[in-house]
Amino acid sequence: MSYQAPEAFANVTAACKANIYFDGKVVSHTLTLADGSRKTLGLIYPGLYKFNTGAPEKMEIIAGACRARIAGNVDWIGFTAGTWFDVPGNSFFEIEVTDGVAEYVCSFC
């Protein structure tokens, strides 16, 4: 799915402490919006990573490219800037970046 990626979020509280995963190869910062919802803004460096979900998530790719496989699926799907994928709650997804850096916004639904 394709869309116009956000360039900025207004009226947010940004956590100074980074969320660091996989020895620094995936890094994000948490934003809390005025309505109380949360998002993370992050970078994914080359590698293959698996993330478990509690709440449902929407992963929006802002820049770069990756491929992802959501729990229960055999096939990998490619994503580029301006595309996204949804992940069910209490599940997992695998994400792979092979070249460059993928930038993302993760929304917790």
Does 65 or 5 have the greater pLDDT score?
65
**Long-range interactions of 27-31: CB distance < 8 A, separation 24+:** 28/104, 28/106
- Residue 86 domain flag: yes
Domain of 64: which CATH number?
2.60.120.10
Q: Is the confidence at residue 5, as pLDDT, over 80?
A: no
0.75 surpassed by pTM: yes
pLDDT score, position 88? 97
Residue 36 in any domain: the answer is yes
pLDDT at 1: 62
pLDDT score recorded for residue 7: 79
Q: Are 80 and 102 in contact (CB under 8 A)?
A: no
Domain assignment of residue 37, yes or no: yes
Looking at the 3D structure of the chain, how many domains does it have? 1
Is residue 5 a part of any domain in this protein?
no
The boundaries of the domain holding residue 39 are: 12-108
Beta bridge partners of 1: none
Q: Is residue 44, in this structure, part of any structural domain at all?
A: yes
Residue 54 domain-assigned?
Answer: yes
In-domain check, residue 7: no
What is the per-residue pLDDT across 40-97, written as a single tens digit (0 to 9) for each? Answer: 999 999 999 999 999 999 999 999 999 999 999 999 999 999 999 999 999 999 999 9
